[in-house]
Amino acid sequence: MSTLQSNLLENHTPTGREEAWRFTPLKRLGGLHDGTAVIADRVSLAVKGTLPQGVTFTYGDIAAVTETDDAIINRVRAHTAQGTTLHIAANTELAEPLFLHRTQFGVDSAEFARTQIRVGNHAQATIVLENSGDTHIAEDVEIVVEPGAHLTLISLQEWGAATIHAARHHAVVDRDATFKSVVVTLGGDLVRILPTVDFIAPGASCDLSGVYFATEGQFFEHRMFVDHKVPHAKSRVNYKGALAGNKAHTVWIGDVFIRAAAEGTDTYELNRNLLLTDGARADSVPNLEIETGEIVGAGHASTTGRFDDEQLFYLMSRGINEADAKRLVVRGFFNEIISEIGIDDVEVRLMARIDDELAKAGK
C-alpha cells in the first residue's frame, strides 16, 4: 500500500486540456489520474478453471515492454513493479478459449494492476478477460505477440453501475503475427480503454473490434492508436456503439499513424453509432496521419444515426411490436461484431445484456 506523490507524477496529472483527456470527465475518475485514489493491495485477476498445457499464470516482478504517455498507466507503473504474467509457450495451440476473471472488488479503494500476456512463436490462443462486479481499477495490460503467433483477446466490460475502469491494452505485434481484439463495454459508470498496437516487423496485422452501449449517465471511451512504423502491416478497426438516455456519452478515437517507413500499409477504420434517444452524445474522431504515399490502402468512416424508420416499419408490418422491432434492429447492428467472438454462451450472454440495456433505455 502506497500513495505515490513524486514530482514527476504531479506533472503528469491531466487537466482536461490535453488532447488525450479532453473528453474524459476527470472528476468521475475516482482519483485514478491525480494520486488521490486510495490504492488497495489487491490482485483481482485470476484464471477460471485449470490451466492448459503450455500456459503459465504467475505473479511477480514485471518489466514494462513499452513506453506510454498515459498519465494513469504511468501512475500504475510507478506504484508497483509487480504484476501478473500470462505466458503461452511457443507452438502451443489452445483448443479452447482461456477465461480470466476478477475475484476481488472494491469501490472504497482502487486497484492498480499490471498484466502481461505473452504469446510465443507460432502459438495460437483465444483469451477472454471477463470484467464484472463493481470496482475501481486502473490496469496496464501489455501484450506481446511473437512471430507467427495468433492471439484473439476478448475483453468484456459487464461491470455494475459503480465501476470506474481505466485500462490500456497495448499489443506489440511481431512478424507475420496477428492480433485480434474484441472489446465489449456494456457496464460501468466510467470506462476508458486504450486499445493500442505497435507493429514491429513486416507481415504483422491487427483487427480491433468493439461494441459499446451506454445508457443514462454512463461514460465509455475507447481510444485506439495503431502505429504503422514498419512496412507491410495491416490494420482493421471496427467499433459499433449504441447510446440511450440522458447524458449517455461515448467517445471513440481512432488514431492511425502511417510512418514514412511503413510502405505497403493497409488500414481501414470504421466507427458507427446508433443514437436511440435524445440527450445522449457520441463523439467519434477518426484520425489518419500518413507520411508515405506507397501504401496499399488507408481509409476511415464514421457515422452516427438514429433508428432507421424503414427498417422498423418493415418489421412492424409483419406484426412485430415496436419494442421487439427495435430489439431486433439493435441486435442486428451489434451482431456483426458479437458474432466474431465465436463462443456461443458468451455471445448469448452479451446479447441478453444488450437487450437489458435497451429495455432500461425504453423506460
Partner 1 sequence: MSTLEIRGLKVSVETEQGEVEILKGVDLTIKSGETHAIMGPNGSGKSTLAYSIAGHPKYTITGGTVTLDGEDVLAMSVDERAKAGLFLAMQYPVEVPGVSVSNFLRTAATALRGEAPKLREWVGEVKSAMESLKMDPAFAQRNVNEGFSGGEKKRHEIMQLELLKPKFAILDETDSGLDVDALRVVSEGVVRAKAANNHGILLITHYTRILKYIKPDFVHVFAKGRIVEEGGPELAEKLEEHGYAEYVSA
Cell of 115: 498484466
Q: Which of the residues 163 through 182 are near partner 1 (CB under 8 A)? A: none
CB of 128 to partner 1, least distance (A): 22
Per-position DSSP letters for 112-181, written without gaps between them: EEEEEEEE-TT-EEEEEEEEEE-EEEEEEEEEEE-TT-EEEEEEEEEE-TT-EEEEEEEEEE-TT-EEEE
Taking the least distance from each CB to partner 1, the nearer of 64 and 351 is 351
Tell how far CA 182 is from the center of its chain.
Answer: 7
With binding defined as CB under 8 A, does residue 314 bind partner 1?
yes
Looking at 61, 108, 309, 344, which residue binds partner 1 (CB under 8 A)?
Answer: 309
With binding defined as CB under 8 A, does residue 334 bind partner 1?
yes
CB of 251 to partner 1, least distance (A): 24
Cα separation of 142 and 156, whole Å? 17
With binding defined as CB under 8 A, does residue 331 bind partner 1?
yes
Looking at 278, 310, 344, 345, which residue binds partner 1 (CB under 8 A)?
Answer: 310
How many residues in the chain?
A: 363
Taking the least distance from each CB to partner 1, the nearer of 90 and 316 is 316
CB of 127 to partner 1, least distance (A): 26
Looking at 164, 295, 325, 354, which residue binds partner 1 (CB under 8 A)?
Answer: 325
Per-position DSSP letters for 32-85, written without gaps between them: TTTT-SPBP----EEESSPPPTTEEEEEEE---SS----HHHHHHHHH-SEEEE
Taking the least distance from each CB to partner 1, the nearer of 112 and 212 is 212
With binding defined as CB under 8 A, does residue 333 bind partner 1?
yes
With binding defined as CB under 8 A, does residue 328 bind partner 1?
yes
Q: Which of the residues 118 through 147 are near partner 1 (CB under 8 A)? A: none
CB of 332 to partner 1, least distance (A): 3
CB of 133 to partner 1, least distance (A): 30
With binding defined as CB under 8 A, does residue 329 bind partner 1?
yes
Residue 205's closest CA among 265, 256, 255, 259? 265
Taking the least distance from each CB to partner 1, the nearer of 17 and 318 is 318
Cα separation of 240 and 184, whole Å? 10
Size of the site for partner 1 (CB under 8 A): 23
Categorise residue 285: left if φ over 0, alpha if ψ from -120 to 50, beta otherwise.
Answer: beta
Note whether 13 and 33 are within 8 A (CB).
yes
Check residue 20 and report its DSSP letter: G
Looking at 316, 347, 349, 351, which residue binds partner 1 (CB under 8 A)?
Answer: 316
CB of 311 to partner 1, least distance (A): 5
Applying CB under 8 A, the span of 56-64, 113-121, 310-318, 342-350 interacting with partner 1 comes to 310-318
Cα separation of 253 and 255, whole Å? 6
Looking at 289, 291, 322, 355, which residue binds partner 1 (CB under 8 A)?
Answer: 322
Other CB atoms within 10 Å distance of the CB of residue 180: 19
Cα separation of 208 and 204, whole Å? 13
Give the CA angle between residues 77, 143, 256 to the nearest 5°.
Answer: 95
Looking at 6, 36, 246, 321, which residue binds partner 1 (CB under 8 A)?
Answer: 321
Q: 260, exposed or middle or buried, with CB in 10 Å at 0-12, 13-18, 19+? A: exposed
CB of 243 to partner 1, least distance (A): 18
With binding defined as CB under 8 A, does residue 247 bind partner 1?
no
Looking at 28, 336, 355, 360, which residue binds partner 1 (CB under 8 A)?
Answer: 336
CB of 153 to partner 1, least distance (A): 23
Tell how far CA 250 is from the center of its chain.
Answer: 13
Residues engaged in binding partner 1 (CB under 8 A): 309-311, 313-322, 324-325, 328-329, 331-336
